[in-house]
Structure 1
Amino acid sequence: MDSSKPFSTIAADHSSSREPLKVESNGEAAISLQEWRGWGTTSTVPSMVTQVVEDLNMLEKNVDAQMVFGGNHGKLSGDFKVQEDKKHRAKYQSLGDSEQKLQFFSARQIACRVLGSRGYLCQKCWLSSGDCMCSKLITCPLWNRMRFWLYMHPKDFLRQNNTGKLLWQVFGVQAATLCLYGITEHEDMMWDALKLAGKDKVWCLYPNKNAPTNSVKDSMAGLSFANVENHPEMAGGAHSLNFILIDGTWSNSGAMFSRLKDRYKLMWGEEEIPCITLNTGASLMHKLRPQPSWDRTCTAAAAIGLLDELHDLPNFVSYGLDKQAKALEDAVEVLFEALTIRRLRMGKSITRKQRHNRDIF
């Protein structure tokens, strides 16, 4: 348990420091490939996201209301929200099955977040332009036999306090690749790469109490990389160790994990996807963003824990994973500082109440 003293609440001048409450649509009719990839993705613009954007722009032309987004998360507001809410509910009800509904839900969430963040959030760090921390981040190459997959829930996409984004900011988008839950193009891209790697090189970092899990040592201590290291031409996905990090709230992670299991079974016929548990403690981010219990941690901290535990194994010690873990840990500190400054400027408390205290004992 973190025994640091709690931060105090410091008031700020709301008249000068409050961030804008509304972001208006700039009238652009589409999300370009350049803009889409600027947010940290490597895919083409998902077709259903494009369709949602087109529908929103068409609705704006047909009703006497401007597309306006309130707050920081791409939520529609005002009269346009009332009109759009009726339309999207009717669309949702008309869809034939749960898969189509999930895809529509995800696409709508993502489309609104992109449109509502234009000109407001930095595309690299997902913080407001005035809080941009990009100049303080130091990049570091990840060991070329590892690849992280950030399996992210749409409600965490473009969240300013999201820590998963730090992985590709530090290691690059090819070493830490974003995969958005419910987006066909993203999920197909990830599973195509996992199929190429083979099921013996795929693990999910998830403390699943209802399925068998192994420690890092149990899962990785017997692996050998001598043959691969001696053949640089074999550096493709077939020889990468793939680690899936579920990036979403704990209330959403169960459905995300279930979807991973279903796809894993469809591809390889196995009931359970291999899971790894970590010995991580409380993350620095616990101070600003409480977790359900102290044994659960943020996405970046999970990646740090994996790198540290791998470095302790004799067959991994020569790959500099401790330095890569430190680079990511430094990035978490940069994000923590940026979020703290932002909250103080807005006159908000930087001491967050603990939740589910019964779980921490």
Structure 2
Amino acid sequence: MLASSTITISRAFTLTLTFKFSLSIPSLLHSSTKTHMDSPPRSLLVSSASRSPPREVLVQDTGDGFITLQEWQGWGTVSPVPVMVSQIVHDLKSLEKNIDAQMSFAGNGGKLQGDFKVQEDKKHRATYEALGDSEKKLQFFASRQIACRLLGSRGYLCQKCWLAMEDCMCSKVKPCSLWHGMRFWVYMHPKDFLRQNNTGKLLWQLFGVQAATLCLFGIAEDEEIMWNAFKCAGKNKVWCLYPNKNAVTESVQEAFGHGSPVDIDSTPVMTAGDKTLNFVLIDGTWSNSAAMFNRLKEQAKSVWGEEKFPCISLTMGASAMHKLRPQPSWDRTCTAAAAIGLLSELQLLHEFSSHGFDEQADAVEDALVVLLEALTSRRLRMGRSVTRKVRHNRDIC
């Protein structure tokens, strides 16, 4: 699917031909965001519909129906609290009072459960159908997904690593500085937000939110921040790491090697409007990634006058996460491993060899191993299999 390359890199992640940024395979951790949420603080049991054993969760909630800026940005975001997310949270709280039914969450991704779900489902479907254009519908869909995940994860997930509190791995992750001349944008689908097996979150855990920035698909405030940065940088400083068959892709060597048109500046000060190189990592399932890339192209046409969005191809392969999370094929991998691949290939170029990309790649790889160990330990504790089922053998290189 990606352009071929003669570059080889000896790392723990065997490099092959294509890669994947999807982190939200439903069959990994069905227990990833299973908790209950009510207005006042109270202890509740998780629905038996979840595949994890019942547990009590102390929910920390002020009952005012608001998401504070501190809470919102505590999950890794840099934007102000999205207006539509706030409105949906307020509506959920109001409905809870009006029908005298408590909100409860269980299953994969903070899904509403019980009687409250029935009433809320009718309400949100009516609201969705009443929206006139597709953009408003997308924003409503994304905001509702995120609002439910926020409420369903309070008091259960660690805000930094997105793992259940008892599995928190934060103390084992060692922060690292990313080269000042580049910036990752983790363009994440709402259904991947707060998933425990998500690896994109590792990037801002390691490098900080200004060097690896979360942008949620369909959230206007997030997308505005990202595109404002792209406008300042200019089209020739923005790339998407996406194996798109219908797009012209360049290898790292072609884009940044000797004689490339990219102006590499190694000076210590890099501000948002000059030389910063911006890399978009699409963080969603393969089925969702096409819509996400199309949205990037549509916005590119609006901003730059043409639909073409520059794409970079990598020589990537299966990461250690394949042990736990099924992929369409072994040659597709996760967001963190894709970042490792980019950093590793850049390190091989003379123009970038002094920027320490090998150390930065090692830091991401180490964090990925920590995440894998945490997820594996949880599955073993719950008596679940840690063996990946091989699928689509015809796709294996």
Q: Normalising by structure 2, what TM-score?
A: 0.84
Mark the CA change 1:336 to 1:287 in structure 2 (over 3 Å): closer, same or farther.
same
User: Following the alignment from structure 1 to structure 2, what is the Cα–Cα distance between the partners of residues 207 and 165?
Assistant: 21
Cα distance, 1:239 vs structure 2:
1.5
- Residue 285 of structure 1 is aligned with which of 311, 321, 329? 321
Deviation digits for residues 116-145 of structure 1, max 9, x if unmatched?
Answer: 000000000000000000000001000000
In structure 2, the residue matched to 1:253 is 289
Match status 1:241 vs 2:253:
no
User: Following the alignment from structure 2 to structure 1, what is the Cα–Cα distance between the partners of residues 148 and 254?
Assistant: 43
How do residues 1-361 of structure 1 correspond to structure 2 at under 5 angstroms?
18=53, 20=55, 26=61, 27-71=63-107, 73-221=109-257, 222=260, 223-225=262-264, 228-230=265-267, 232-361=268-397
Mark the CA change 1:22 to 1:139 in structure 2 (over 3 Å): closer, same or farther.
closer
Residues 75, 160 of structure 2: 8 Å contact kept: yes
Residues 343, 350 of structure 1: 8 Å contact kept: yes
Residues 144, 235 of structure 1: 8 Å contact kept: no
In structure 2, the residue matched to 1:11 is none
Residues 24, 69 of structure 1: 8 Å contact kept: no
Give the AA of the match of 2:373: E
Instruction: Classify the secondary structure of the residue corresponding to 1:229.
Output: coil
Residues 187, 214 of structure 2: 8 Å contact kept: yes
Residues 18, 345 of structure 1: 8 Å contact kept: no
User: Following the alignment from structure 1 to structure 2, what is the Cα–Cα distance between the partners of residues 281 and 127?
Assistant: 26
Mark the CA change 1:46 to 1:187 in structure 2 (over 3 Å): closer, same or farther.
same
Residues 24, 67 of structure 1: 8 Å contact kept: no
Residues 142, 190 of structure 2: 8 Å contact kept: yes
Cα distance, 1:234 vs structure 2:
4.7
Instruction: Classify the secondary structure of the residue corresponding to 1:245.
Output: strand
Instruction: Classify the secondary structure of the residue corresponding to 2:79.
Output: coil
Aligned residue pairs total: 345
Cα distance, 1:360 vs structure 2:
1.2
Mark the CA change 1:83 to 1:25 in structure 2 (over 3 Å): closer, same or farther.
farther
Instruction: Classify the secondary structure of the residue corresponding to 1:276.
Output: strand
User: Following the alignment from structure 1 to structure 2, what is the Cα–Cα distance between the partners of residues 355 and 45?
Assistant: 40
In structure 2, the residue matched to 1:10 is none
The structure with the greater share of residues assigned to helix is 1
351-360 vs 253-262, greater mean Cα deviation = 351-360
Instruction: Classify the secondary structure of the residue corresponding to 2:239.
Output: strand
The gaps in structure 1 that reach 5 residues or longer are: 3-13
Mark the CA change 1:271 to 1:73 in structure 2 (over 3 Å): closer, same or farther.
closer
